[in-house]
């Protein structure tokens, strides 16, 4: 469309682009104040033990209640937060809030509950992440072993050497590490033995057609077998049916997460 743009097409294109960048600038300005104005909220999605079918923890998923645009999912603002550096403040807020919530679950008698927090590519590349995590643990008095940091396979692969350093430092603090969206990163599997990882999260794209598609079933079984021989735990994301849950349980997957068990829910409405 752009290539063969005559006068009208080009003007249309420019106008659209200007509108898009104006929207982006406005979003950036709004995001700058989102934390202090209390517009962010966290929903928690239970992580279920496949063997006992009981919740063992929850993943924190951030949402933005935007004053004009309404409720925005993370895919609409985390990339912008990463690009603008606002992720530092946003990520620190999520970590503190999730750690505080996990501490509250412990205090309510839920033994050994774990909370998982997503860490973006930019957050993971910044040395100050270590202070932010230490600060969240100190302020909440949450035992480090109750905190799981989820890092996507893609951010781990961006720079395996510095990823290894960061992961070792996090492990020294006693927190757990999960590889998020595993299987989507076109990565070499050899990094798995070089990085101190505890958990592999099987991406939901392999779970969606697990019961209909033999190839997906074969991939999921291979991931679970690989994780098992490396002594890593597995969590399957995006479990939407009892059939998928059963296939995963029989394949030896340790934990399940998905709409079949619970949608992400504000902590106040969640029964863990
Ligand atoms: P993710 O960490 O892979 O999270 C899983 C996503 O799958 C979540 O989307 C969740 O709501 C959704 N999901 C859960 N169960 C099902 C299911 O059964 N079926 C389907 N189709 N989807 C399901 P959400 O909440 O929109 O989050 C999207 C991504 O945004 C997350 O992917 C994560 O990468 C990122 N994110 C979320 N919260 C944070 C945060 O606090 N910080 C950072 N840096 N990133 C975050
Ligand atoms: Mg995640
Ligand atoms: Mg994921
Ligand atoms: Mg994802």
Question: If you take atom 30 of ligand 1, which residue's CA is the nearest one?
Answer: 74
Rg (CA), the chain: 20
What is the average per-residue pLDDT within 73-77? Answer: 97
When pLDDT is cut at 50, 70 and 90, the band that residue 7 belongs to is low
Nearest ligand 1 atom to the CA of 61 is: 38
d(CA 137, CA 99): 7
Residue 133 CA, ligand 3 centroid: distance in Å? 21
The pLDDT of residue 173 is: 98
The pLDDT of residue 8 is: 72
ipTM of the complex: 0.98
When pLDDT is cut at 50, 70 and 90, the band that residue 4 belongs to is low
Task: For 32-65, write each residue's pLDDT tens digit.
Answer: 999 999 999 999 999 999 999 999 999 999 999 9
Lowest-confidence segment of 6-10, 51-55, 155-159, 199-203 by average pLDDT:
6-10
Residue 116 CA, ligand 1 centroid: distance in Å? 11
Residue 90's contacts (CB-CB under 8 Å, 6 or more residues apart) are 31, 34, 35, 40, 62, 78, 81
Judge whether 164 and 195 are in contact, CB under 8 Å.
yes
The pLDDT of residue 96 is: 98
Comparing C-alpha atoms, which of 98, 103, 95 is closest to residue 141? Answer: 103
Task: Write the secondary structure of the chain as one string of H (helix), E (strand) and C (coil).
Answer: CCCCCCHHHHHHHHHHHHHHHHHHHHHHHHHHHHCCCCCEEEEEEEEEECCCCCEEEEEEEEEEEECCCEEECHHHCHHHHHHHCCHHHHHHHHHHHHHHHHHHHHHCCCCCCEEEEEECHHHHHCCCHHHHHHHHHHHHCCCHHHEEEEEEHHHHHHCHHHHHHHHHHHHHHCCEEEEEEECCCCCCCCHHHHCCCCEEEECHHHHCCCCCCHHHHHHHHHHHHHHHHCCCEEEECCCCCHHHHHHHHHHCCCEECCCCCCCCEEHHHCCC
Nearest ligand 1 atom to the CA of 73 is: 26
The pLDDT of residue 12 is: 73
Query: Does 6 have pLDDT greater than 60?
Result: no
Residues enclosing ligand 1, CB less than 6 A? 45, 60-62, 73-75, 78, 91, 94, 118-120, 150, 180-181, 204, 237-240, 258-259, 264
Nearest ligand 1 atom to the CA of 87 is: 44
Task: For 174-196, write each residue's pLDDT tens digit.
Answer: 999 999 999 988 777 888 888 99
What is the average per-residue pLDDT within 99-125? Answer: 96
The pLDDT of residue 14 is: 74
Q: What's the chain's average pLDDT?
A: 93
Query: Does 2 have pLDDT greater than 60?
Result: no
Residue 20 CA, ligand 3 centroid: distance in Å? 28
Question: If you take atom 15 of ligand 1, which residue's CA is the nearest one?
Answer: 258
What is the average per-residue pLDDT within 71-99? Answer: 97
Residue 121 CA, ligand 3 centroid: distance in Å? 13
Query: Does 68 have pLDDT greater than 80?
Result: yes
Residue 1 CA, ligand 3 centroid: distance in Å? 34
How many C-beta atoms surround the C-beta of residue 88 within 10 A? Answer: 18
d(CA 236, CA 104): 26
Task: For 8-30, write each residue's pLDDT tens digit.
Answer: 777 777 777 677 888 889 999 99
Ion ligand 2: residues, Cβ under 5 Å: 118, 150, 180
Residue 207 CA, ligand 3 centroid: distance in Å? 11
What is the average per-residue pLDDT within 229-239? Answer: 97
The pLDDT of residue 46 is: 98
Question: If you take atom 37 of ligand 1, which residue's CA is the nearest one?
Answer: 61
């Amino acid at each position: 469309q752009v290539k063969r743009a005559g006068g009208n097409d080009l003007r249309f294109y420019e106008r659209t682009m200007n509108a898009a960048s104006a929207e982006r600038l406005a979003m950036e300005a709004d995001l700058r104040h989102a934390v202090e104005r209390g517009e962010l909220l966290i929903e928690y999605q239970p992580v279920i033990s496949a063997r006992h079918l009981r919740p063992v923890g929850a993943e924190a998923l951030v949402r933005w209640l935007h004053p004009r645009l309404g409720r925005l999912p993370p895919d609409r603002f985390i990339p912008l937060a990463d690009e603008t550096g606002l992720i530092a403040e946003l990520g620190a807020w999520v970590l503190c809030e999730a750690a505080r919530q996990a501490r509250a679950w412990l205090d309510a008698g839920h033994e050994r509950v774990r909370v998982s927090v997503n860490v973006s590519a930019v957050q993971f590349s910044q040395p100050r992440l270590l202070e932010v995590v230490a600060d969240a643990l100190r302020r909440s008095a949450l035992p480090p072993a109750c905190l799981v940091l989820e890092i996507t396979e893609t951010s781990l692969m961006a720079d395996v050497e510095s990823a290894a350093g960061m992961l070792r430092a996090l492990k020294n603090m006693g927190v757990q590490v999960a590889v998020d969206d595993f299987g989507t990163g076109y990565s070499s599997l050899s990094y798995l033995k070089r990085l101190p990882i505890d958990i592999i999260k099987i991406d939901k794209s392999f779970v969606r057609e697990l019961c209909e598609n033999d190839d997906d079933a074969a991939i999921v079984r291979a991931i679970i077998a690989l994780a098992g021989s490396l002594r890593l735990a597995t969590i399957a994301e995006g479990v939407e049916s009892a059939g998928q849950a059963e296939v995963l349980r029989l394949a030896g997957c340790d934990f399940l997460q998905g709409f079949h068990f619970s949608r992400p829910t504000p902590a106040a409405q969640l029964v863990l």
